[in-house]
């Protein structure tokens, strides 16, 4: 399909019909996951893989990734690739510490958002106004942000009691919430070790006990982003800038303005993810605290096909692996080899029988068999591999998910006002 605008003709990709997952499939899929985890727990004897402690830690570790991924979604839905999420998170960690030390925990949250948004504004200025390559701008922002945060930490935290050039003093805590009266009954059911029922109790306990209020806010931001971008005229204008900015301009959309809003909001969300690391996952700012989570958040966004629900799923997977390697170590990750092997076998059969992708299906099946054999002949996973398990999971998931991805059509393209006239 083509769209004639002035003297130019823009080719607009034909809309592809995608099969949406029905609402009832989500709880069914979650139940199936709990069944599989229960089977693996009973086979391997590793209770940590489905304990409420692990699931609660997974939720906490998933939130910074989800916020970074959500920031990437805002930017790329408006057509601006955001490799700079890591740098925006780094700025957010410093902003959270500075704000919390001088005005309390909520000032720390505001400081994280403001500092991340400033990083987003710089990225928007470079890419939207000056037409700098999006990848170059993002990488440069990551490098500069690391240096700026290091300098500011040494400047403002080095002379404080309990602080140093690379670490802030302990930060005030944010409020924690939960559903009263349910933790102990759910804990007793979890301790019984019943098939599926104990896993369900553990999941409910993790979701209703001792949650940081910032976790609740992050979940609300995911829902709010879905509503704002897919259910309002404002969101339609933002997404039109990422699909066809020339066509959007002819309809009266100020493309520059909406790109600036989206990329600045992207920085604010990523900065909030950095603030989560400093104030919730830890209790202080530390140099290089993000540990590459901005890139994992970007991977979660790609895995989630540029949608909030997919971002949450991808972040949950990576957060779970992060929590599992921290709590259970090599033995717990070794038990997950059985799960990964079974998953690869299912994916391979699905590719062959439903998609008729025989080569990809055969590779998945062979890989799955190899993983199951590795689980059978080994007892644990070396510590060197354990530390990089979340990153390895990122690569594997992207390798198998890449065939069904569809990014915004104009993502990464330089746009100039008046191109359609």
pLDDT score at 371: 87
Spatial distance between the Cα atoms of 219 and 243, rounded to a whole number of angstroms: 27
Confidence of residue 337 (pLDDT cuts 50, 70, 90): confident
- Model pTM? 0.89
Return the higher-pLDDT residue of 390 and 51. Answer: 51
SS3 4: strand
Please state whether beta strands 8-11 and 176-177 pair in parallel, antiparallel, or not at all (unpaired): unpaired
Examine the pLDDT at 21 and tell me if it is beyond 70.
Answer: no
Of the two residues 373 and 15, the one the predictor is more confident about is 373
In this structure, the dihedral spanned by the alpha carbons of residues 330, 50, 339 and 57, taken in order and rounded to 10 degrees, is -60
CA dist list (Å): 392 to 275, 321, 362, 400: 25, 10, 21, 13
Assign 3-class secondary structure to 228-272.
HHHHCHHHHHHHHHHHCHHHHHHCCCCHHHHHHHHHHHHHHHHHH
Answer yes or no: is pLDDT of 86 > 70.
yes
Give the best-scoring range by mean pLDDT among 26-40, 79-93, 172-186, 354-368. Answer: 79-93
More confident residue, 341 or 68: 68
Is the pLDDT at 397 greater than 60, yes or no? yes
Q: Is the confidence at residue 23, as pLDDT, over 80?
A: no
What local confidence, expressed as pLDDT, does residue 419 receive? Answer: 66
Query: Residue 15's pLDDT is what?
Result: 43
Q: CA angle, corner 339, sides to 364 and 201, nearest 5?
A: 145
Question: For residues 242 and 332, which has the higher predicted lDDT (pLDDT)?
Answer: 242
How does pLDDT run across 112-148, given as a tens digit for each residue? 999 999 999 999 999 999 999 999 999 999 999 999 9
């Amino acid at each position: 399909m083509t769209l004639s605008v002035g003297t130019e003709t823009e080719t607009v990709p034909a809309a592809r019909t995608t099969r949406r997952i029905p609402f009832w499939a989500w709880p069914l899929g979650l139940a199936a996951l709990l069944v599989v985890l229960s089977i693996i727990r009973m086979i391997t004897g590793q209770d940590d893989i489905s304990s409420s402690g692990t699931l609660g830690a997974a939720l906490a570790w998933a939130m910074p990734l989800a916020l970074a991924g959500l920031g990437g979604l805002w930017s790329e839905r408006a057509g601006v690739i955001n490799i700079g999420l890591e740098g925006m998170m780094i700025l957010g960690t410093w902003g959270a510490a500075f704000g919390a030390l001088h005005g309390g925990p909520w000032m720390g949250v505001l400081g994280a958002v403001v500092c991340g948004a400033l990083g987003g504004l710089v990225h928007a200025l470079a890419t939207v106004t000056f037409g700098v390559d999006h990848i170059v701008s993002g990488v440069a922002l990551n490098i500069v942000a690391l240096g700026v945060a290091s300098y500011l930490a040494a400047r403002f935290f080095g002379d404080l009691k309990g602080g140093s050039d690379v670490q802030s003093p302990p930060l005030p805590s944010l409020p924690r919430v939960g559903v009263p009266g349910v933790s102990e009954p759910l804990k007793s059911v979890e301790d019984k070790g019943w098939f599926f029922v104990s896993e369900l109790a553990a999941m409910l306990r993790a979701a209703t006990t001792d949650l940081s209020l910032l976790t609740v806010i992050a979940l609300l931001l995911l829902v709010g982003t879905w509503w704002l971008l897919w259910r309002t005229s404002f969101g339609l204008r933002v997404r039109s800038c990422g699909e066809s900015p020339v066509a959007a301009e002819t309809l009266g959309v100020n493309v520059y303005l909406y790109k600036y809003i989206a990329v600045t909001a992207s920085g604010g969300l990523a900065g909030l993810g950095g603030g989560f690391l400093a104030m919730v996952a830890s209790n202080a700012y530390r140099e290089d605290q993000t540990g590459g989570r901005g890139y994992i958040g970007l991977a979660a966004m790609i895995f989630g096909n540029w949608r909030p629900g997919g971002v949450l799923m991808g972040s949950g997977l990576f957060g779970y692996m992060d929590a599992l390697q921290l709590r259970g170590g090599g033995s717990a990750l070794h038990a997950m080899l059985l799960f990964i092997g079974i998953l690869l076998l299912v994916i391979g059969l699905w590719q062959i029988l439903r998609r008729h992708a025989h080569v990809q299906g055969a590779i998945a099946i062979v890989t799955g068999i190899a993983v199951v054999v590795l689980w059978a002949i080994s007892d644990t996973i070396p510590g060197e591999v354990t530390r990089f398990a979340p990153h390895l999971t990122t690569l594997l998931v992207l390798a198998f998910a890449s065939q069904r991805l569809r990014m915004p059509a104009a993502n990464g393209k330089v746009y100039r006002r008046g191109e359609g006239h």
